[in-house]
């Protein structure tokens, strides 16, 4: 069985995520966050080291989603 940790996000972002996942296969905010993080990690592992441009793209996407200030 996997060990888990908690990640905090602002409540307004959590509400936006809940609205976004309605009608999808994601049953919770945690499901979506796990999916997104796995996608980033898998892409990173497939391509090796991230370039500065790739890192900036990921940062911009996370900022647009409200994860970063």
Confidence check: pLDDT of 69 > 80:
no
User: How do residues 9-60 score in pLDDT, each as one tens digit?
Assistant: 889 888 988 998 899 999 998 888 888 888 877 777 777 777 788 878 888 8
Q: Taking Cα atoms as reference points, which of 65, 68, 3, 69 lies closest to residue 29?
A: 65
């Amino acid at each position: 069985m996997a060990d888990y940790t908690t990640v905090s996000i602002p409540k307004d972002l959590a509400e936006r995520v809940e609205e976004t996942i309605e009608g999808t296969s994601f049953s919770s905010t945690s499901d979506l966050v796990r999916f997104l993080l796995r996608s980033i990690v898998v892409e990173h592992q497939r391509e090796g080291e991230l370039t500065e441009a790739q890192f900036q793209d990921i940062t911009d996407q996370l900022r647009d989603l409200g994860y970063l200030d």
